[in-house]
Structure 1
Amino acid sequence: MTDAAKPSSPAPYVPRQISGPVLMGVVPGQPLAVAHRAAELAFSLGVKLVCAYVDVTTYLAGEPDGRAEARPIDPDGVDDDIEGIGATIAADLRAAFDGSGVDWSFVTLAGDPARALGRLAESADASVIVVGTRERGLGARLEEMLVGSVAVYLTHRQHRPVLVVPLSPHKHQPKAGR
């Protein structure tokens, strides 16, 4: 067999240094456990942490000049203080990260949370996306049935790893008689 006819062997795997930021999805009232895990990961990897809140009451609309602008879904609806919600989340994160040595930023996005996080992960070339699970309860189950799970959508629709931080895991209950 000539050299040209020999099957080529695959190139050896060479790991690359992770350099993209850790992207964390954050929601109002979310326990700090998610932020802490995301910060630990970013700090350990030596990359920036990008914290993103997605305002689900707005959507992105294309402008004639090519820009995308956030617009309210219902312009006549109740005026939730979206800027105030974002400012509160940013203040909570600032208090959590102050003096930690973590390089972080905060951004507010518009639209569907999974799609918005996916777009940001792509544009920022994020190394990993970190999200929390929903709190337990009937309301959370009903919401997940109606709108789906952000974590499941992300794991099935884009190529980055997704770290899901459990918020209210089942506690092991010892069985009677043990």
Structure 2
Amino acid sequence: MTEPEKPAPSTGGVPYALRKISGPVLMGVVPGQPLAVAHRAAELAYSLGVKLVCAYVDVTTYLAEEPDGTVEARPIDPDGVDDDIEGISASIAGHLREALDGTGIGWSFVTLAGDPARALGRLAETTDASVIVVGTRERGLGARLEELLVGSVAVHLTHRQHRPVLVVPLAPHPRHQPKADH
């Protein structure tokens, strides 16, 4: 006995129509991030035939709108230690250049300000990104404490916008890896 033919999926009475994915892959980058995240994001962009936009979010700054309508990044603590944001951004861009140049995909790098999930969400909206790619955090007590205090960027992204979020796992903890046969 064959199953009856299922009607086409619909949303509110309007039939669903497939559309070609054409927006870039947006990847969130942090200093020292393993290249596995960039490699997966690049593979996805290559497979979809779209560009890759790499974004670093400086959490020590916030966006402020001027009376004339311009928006600029300002330090959260103007008297605090001056992190070399240009140096950090240049270092990340150089690391990405080594990993991505010669892959055949078009890619770019941008530095954003503020809360990472909000900043990536805004950029995803303005670029009409197809997907947002982020990595998991390194293991350890410090990372777990930070996640408890500020939360996961991936979780915040999934709750704040409508685009899919791909979370690339970093190297699993040694005790969770399968044992090799001898």
The residue number in structure 2 matching 1:114 is 117
Query: Identity of aligned pairs, percent?
Result: 83
**Aligned to 1:95, what secondary structure does the other structure show?**
helix
In 2, are the aligned partners of 1:60 and 1:110 still within 8 Å (CA)? Answer: yes
In 2, are the aligned partners of 1:136 and 1:168 still within 8 Å (CA)? Answer: no
The residue number in structure 2 matching 1:19 is 22
**Aligned to 1:18, what secondary structure does the other structure show?**
coil
- Aligned 1:1-178 pairs, distance under 5 A: 10-170=13-173, 171-174=176-179
In 2, are the aligned partners of 1:25 and 1:130 still within 8 Å (CA)? Answer: yes
**Aligned to 1:28, what secondary structure does the other structure show?**
coil
In 2, the alpha carbon distance for the partners of 1:152 and 1:112 equals 13
Structure 1: gaps of 5 or more residues = 1-8
In 2, the alpha carbon distance for the partners of 1:98 and 1:127 equals 22
Shift of 1:112: 0.6
The residue number in structure 1 matching 2:8 is none
The residue number in structure 2 matching 1:3 is none
**Aligned to 2:20, what secondary structure does the other structure show?**
coil
Shift of 1:11: 4.5
Q: Deviations over 1:64-115 (max 9, x none)?
A: 1111100001111111110000000000101111111010000000001011
**Aligned to 1:85, what secondary structure does the other structure show?**
helix
Amino acid at match of 2:161: Q
In 2, the alpha carbon distance for the partners of 1:110 and 1:11 equals 39
In 2, the alpha carbon distance for the partners of 1:140 and 1:93 equals 23
In 2, the alpha carbon distance for the partners of 1:38 and 1:73 equals 31
Equivalent pairs counted in the alignment come to 167
Shift of 1:38: 0.3
Q: Deviations over 1:120-166 (max 9, x none)?
A: 10111100000000001100000001111000000111100000000
Shift of 1:10: 4.1
Q: CA RMSD in A?
A: 1.6
Larger of the two Rg values belongs to structure: 1
What TM-score results when the alignment is normalised by the length of structure 2? 0.88
Which of structure 1's runs of 4+ aligned residues deviate more than 6 A?
none
Structure 2: gaps of 5 or more residues = 1-11
